[in-house]
Amino acid sequence: MTETSQHSGPVLAADGRPLKASLARALRREKLRAMLLIAPLLVFILITFVVPIGQMLFRSVENQIVSDVLPRTSEALEEWSYNDGAAPGEAVFFALTQDMVVAAERKEHTRLGSRLNYEESGISSLFRKSGRKVDEIGEGYADQFEAVNPMLVDPAALTQLFATSAWSEAVASDAELAVTRTFKVNKDVAEALPRASDAFREFAVFNQSVDEKDPRKAKLWNSVSLALFEDLRQNPAATVDGPASAAIAAAAAAVPAFDVEDLAQSFAKIDKDWLDPEVWTVIKRYSPEFTNGYFLNAIDMEKTVDGPAWRDEDQQIYLKLFWRTMLMSMTITISCILLGYPVAWLLANLPTRQANLLMILVLLPFWTSLLVRTSAWKVLLQQQGVINDIVVWLGLVSDENRLQLINNATGTIIAMTHILLPFMILPLFSVLKTIPPTYLRAAKSLGATNWTAFWRVYFPQSVPGIGAGSILVFIMSIGYYITPEIVGGTKGVFISNRIAYHISSSLNWGLAAALGAILLAVVMLLYWAYDRIVGIDNVKLGG
């Protein structure tokens, strides 16, 4: 001890380490132990909640499909602009042929078609139609090459020409490897015939990986002949080594005399929409890997050649639905406060026996299926329903003018107020129970009227309960979907109904994710505002 005090350095612990470090170490160990305790829950929440939701929300900006399926086309399109006023040139159509042949064989073109159809009606069938016929493009070249030398369209000979020597040797020793060993292109040939070797590689790899076939025995794609023609036309001096060199030289000599196929016209023959710059601008616009297109759609805007613009009025829907969802959720919350407060007050102030009975009545709806409760409201509220029958029988309204209580906003508000009422009553009750009745008596003995005593003394103390109940009810109702769908008609549906539609019917998950992300952001914003105005510390879920 004396030794330590003589030291001018830091205070040391019993084991000789500085006390500060030792303390921090102990604390760290404590923290780690606490972390270990909550780790299972944390991991569970991360895996089952945060990650899936994050992935889903990521879809709202993700857009890799265009560059994945049409890599050559989206690159070739960079040169082109909508302001050219016409469809792009032959180079783009050449790239499109190569991409479409691969996509059609891999059956990816329809998926891309339905993706782009979200942006421009008609693209879905354009792609489906084109995928069916694109393998015919270039057939003329295949025939003409065959006339020059059958070797030029023989997959076995072409495999030998385009493959690396390592690949050819391996396959020669073991024929099995022709399927299992991924095809590699010979660099020298690729330099002389870049397009043809690219097209042939796609052909070979497709046969190996998807069809599990030996490319030497498969049926050659016409797109390879098309690519070979394009190579030889652009570079008539191209030469290759090996057994094919004579055939290639002969082909290069013959190419200038070939009948030329106008690719744009070939596509136009499949569907004239390929000449429409509108279609091309959509493809170009959605070529980047990420897009803000879904978010623009989610707020009734769209991408146009002049940047984002509002949609036509007859297509604007989402902002209206967001606004309606907010307004109606607020109305439902307020109705829940008005109806729930007296019940919670009774619960808190009745003798235990009666309070328990009342509590059971409040909880009873919880034990009934949500669908049953909602359908029951249908029976009650419809025009030939119980409530209308009673008011007509009482003579309050005439038989011709029965009240319209369902299939509109009124129906949604009534049914949802009923369904969400317990979520208001329970937190309110637990707060009201903690307010000592003596405060009211004291207020009254000091001369306050019943109302003043309630409003000035009792009510302010119950505000935390109202806050908790309101947050619960509001946030739950904002995401409600099944009840508005059944009783809401057209004027009483929420944004969540559109999200459900895009998830389950239109399969436009990107748009659904964008709508969901906006909804989440709005809820968080409101929560933040609530915290600033009321203070989240003032919310009490229990005594």
Partner 1 sequence: MKTTTTLLATTAMTLAGTSAFADAHMADSMTIVSWGGAYSASQQGAYHDPYMANTGITIINDESSSEAVAKLRAMNEAGNVTWDLVDVEAADAIRLCDEGLALEIDHDEMLAAGADGSTASDDFGDSIISDCFIPQIVFSTTVGYRTDMVGDTPPTEICAIFDTDTYPGKRALAKKPLANVEWALLCDGVAKADIYEVLATEEGQAQAFAKLDTIKDDVIWWSAGAETPQLLADGEVVMGSTFNGRLFSAIAEQDQPIGMLWDAQMLDYDGWIVPAGLSDDRLARVMDYLTFATDTQRLADQAKYISYGPARASSAPLVGDHGELGIPMAEHMPTDPANSKNVFVTQYEFWADYRDDLDAKFQAWLAQ
What residues line the site for partner 1 (CB under 8 A)? 107-108, 110-111, 113-114, 117-118, 121-125, 128, 314-317, 320-321, 324, 382-385, 407, 485, 489-491, 498, 501, 503-509
* Among 224, 279, 289, 282, CA closest to 68: 289
- Closest to partner 1 by CB, 56 vs 190, is 56
Minimum distance from residue 128 beta carbon to partner 1 (Å): 7
Closest approach of partner 1 to the CB of residue 71, in Å: 18
Minimum gap (Å) between residue 243 Cβ and partner 1: 39
Rounded least distance, CB 438 to partner 1, Å: 53
- If the CB atoms of residues 230 and 300 are measured against partner 1, the closer one turns out to be 300
Nearer CB in complex with partner 1: 75/389? 389
Q: Which is nearer to partner 1, 108 or 198 (CB)?
A: 108
Quote the tokens at residue 195.
Answer: 């397009």
Nearest in space to 155 (alpha carbons), one of 217, 232, 248, 244: 217
Nearer to partner 1, 92 or 514 (CB): 514
| Closest C-alpha among 118, 119, 109, 68 to residue 270 | 109
Q: How far is the CB of 375 from partner 1 (least distance, A)?
A: 10
Report the candidate in 411, 340, 329, 415 with the shortest Cα–Cα distance to residue 371: 415
Question: Taking the mean position of all CA atoms in its chain, how far away is CA 258?
Answer: 49
Least distance between partner 1 and beta carbon 127 (Å): 9
Report the length, in residues, of the chain: 543
Supply 343's token pair. 């019940």
Nearer to partner 1, 88 or 492 (CB): 492
229 vs 494 by CB, closer to partner 1: 494
The single-letter DSSP state of residue 235 is -
Structure tokens that stand for 39 in this block: 């780790």
CA triple 521-527-530, angle to 5 deg: 145
Nearest approach in angstroms of CB 232 to partner 1 is 36
Can you tell me the distance from the alpha carbon of 422 to that of 358, in angstroms, rounded to the nearest whole number?
Answer: 12
Joined together, the tokens standing for residue 232 give 């030889």
Termini Cα distance of the chain: 51
Choice between 124 and 149, CB closer to partner 1: 124
- Give 54 or 236: the residue with its C-beta nearer to partner 1: 54
- Cβ closer to partner 1: 230 or 271? 271
Give the Å distances, CA to CA, from 317 to 7, 16, 296, 408, 487: 76, 72, 12, 17, 20
* Residue placing its CB nearer to partner 1 in the complex, 225 or 388: 388
Closest separation in Å from C-beta 122 to partner 1 = 5
Q: Which tokens go with 377?
A: 């409201």
**What is d(CA 19, CA 340) in angstroms, rounded to the nearest whole number?**
57
**CB of residue 411 vs partner 1: minimum separation in angstroms?**
11
Contacts 24+ apart (CB under 8 A), 213-218: 213/179, 214/175, 214/178, 214/179, 215/155, 215/159, 215/178, 215/183, 216/155, 216/156, 216/159, 216/178, 217/155, 217/156, 218/155
How far apart are CB 51 and partner 1 at their closest, in Å? 13
Residue 47: φ, ψ to 5°? -75, -40
Task: Give the nearest distance from C-beta 505 to partner 1 in angstroms.
Answer: 7
* Residue 169 amino acid letter: E
